[in-house]
């Protein structure tokens, strides 16, 4: 059984630890491959001020540092250069041309932001609970179901545009809803959305990540996507890979057994491992 982590944040964005720190930890844990996926810069493009994305002016330094690590670790650990790119309707998307010319090995496409219907500034569904609550009240009159619908609209928009290799934390909209505070995860509205997203995700051709980031940071009791959504993805033939959404070296490989258990329960017998740009993915038994 091979394992890797293609979803990794260092201190170039909101992670703790250097590229070298993560390489050492990945090697010590026996991972085959480590891919870096800094939150792609958004400020120049969108005007949104943020502390958790890579700064626009540090993009070249990030690329140079990861490529240097790739050379340094050759033969011991496969190191890949990626970015986690936000989709914010009309503002930034993994499909944007500028991301296609950076020499990246892969792109993770993720929805974190929802655009308020009142024209207010976009906010993130995975922010701290108190911040999220304030924004839902301010921009959606407290209507959590509407936020949930807006999130899935954005996900469908991103998938239809394409440009990404990995579909990031597909149902992260669950993060601030552990007890159904904002929407009913068993309700028809939510289940209709995940029934609709599964075939779209599969048809995109991207690999869906099974992301243990919520577990690693004690925010969720299970990986993204949920067991139910994984079952739907399995039914549609979507390929999956396990990632830690690591924000510190200790997260690498964290809760992978939990992810494998979820996958087996959902009917999966294998995950896929990235073989490098142009070389695609190889199946590996769970």
Query: What does the binding site for Zn ion look like in residue numbers (CB under 5 A)?
Result: 84, 110, 245
Rounded to the nearest whole angstrom, what is the least distance from the CB of residue 209 to Zn ion in the complex? Answer: 10
Taking CB atoms, the residue at the shortest distance from Zn ion is 110
Nearer to Zn ion, 84 or 171 (CB): 84
Rounded to the nearest whole angstrom, what is the least distance from the CB of residue 239 to Zn ion in the complex? Answer: 19
Nearer to Zn ion, 144 or 214 (CB): 214
Rounded to the nearest whole angstrom, what is the least distance from the CB of residue 267 to Zn ion in the complex? Answer: 26
Rounded to the nearest whole angstrom, what is the least distance from the CB of residue 110 to Zn ion in the complex? Answer: 4
Nearer to Zn ion, 217 or 269 (CB): 217
Say how many C-beta atoms besides its own lie within 10 A of residue 197's C-beta: 22
Nearer to Zn ion, 186 or 218 (CB): 218
d(CA 102, CA 37): 13
Nearer to Zn ion, 50 or 143 (CB): 50
Beta carbons of 168 and 108 less than 8 angstroms apart: yes
Nearer to Zn ion, 46 or 110 (CB): 110
Beta carbons of 38 and 19 less than 8 angstroms apart: no
Rounded to the nearest whole angstrom, what is the least distance from the CB of residue 13 to Zn ion in the complex? Answer: 9
Residues in Cβ contact with 178 at an 8 Å cutoff, skipping those fewer than 6 apart: 220, 221
Say how many C-beta atoms besides its own lie within 10 A of residue 257's C-beta: 11
Rounded to the nearest whole angstrom, what is the least distance from the CB of residue 187 to Zn ion in the complex? Answer: 25
Helix then strand then coil, in percent of the chain rounded to 5, is 40, 20, 40
Residue 116 Cα to chain centre, angstroms: 22
State the sign of the Cα–Cα–Cα–Cα dihedral 153, 213, 15, 280: negative
């Amino acid at each position: 059984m091979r394992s890797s982590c293609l979803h990794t944040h260092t201190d170039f964005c909101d992670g703790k630890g250097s590229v070298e720190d993560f390489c050492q930890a990945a090697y010590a844990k026996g991972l085959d491959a480590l891919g870096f996926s800094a939150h792609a810069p958004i400020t120049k493009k969108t005007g949104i001020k943020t502390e958790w994305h890579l700064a626009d002016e540090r993009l070249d330094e990030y690329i140079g540092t990861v490529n240097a690590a790739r050379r340094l670790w050759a033969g011991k650990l496969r190191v890949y250069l990626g970015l986690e790119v936000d989709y914010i309707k009309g503002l930034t998307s993994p499909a944007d041309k500028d991301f296609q010319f950076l020499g990246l090995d892969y792109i993770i496409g993720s929805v974190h932001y929802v655009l308020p219907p009142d024209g207010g500034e976009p906010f993130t569904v995975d922010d701290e609970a108190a911040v999220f609550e304030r924004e839902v009240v301010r921009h959606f009159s407290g209507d959590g179901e509407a936020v949930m619908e807006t999130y899935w609209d954005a996900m469908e928009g991103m998938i239809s545009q394409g440009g990404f290799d990995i579909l990031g934390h597909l149902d992260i909209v669950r993060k601030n809803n552990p007890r159904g505070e904002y929407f009913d995860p068993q309700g028809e509205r939510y289940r209709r959305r995940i029934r609709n997203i599964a075939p779209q995700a599969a048809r995109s051709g991207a690999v869906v990540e099974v992301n243990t980031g919520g577990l690693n940071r004690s925010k969720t009791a299970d990986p993204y996507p949920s067991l139910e959504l994984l079952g739907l993805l399995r039914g549609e033939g979507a390929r999956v890979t396990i990632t830690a959404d690591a924000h510190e070296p200790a997260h690498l490989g964290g809760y992978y057994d939990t992810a494998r258990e979820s996958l087996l329960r959902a009917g999966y017998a294998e995950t896929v491992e990235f073989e490098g740009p142009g070389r695609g993915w190889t199946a590996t038994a769970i």
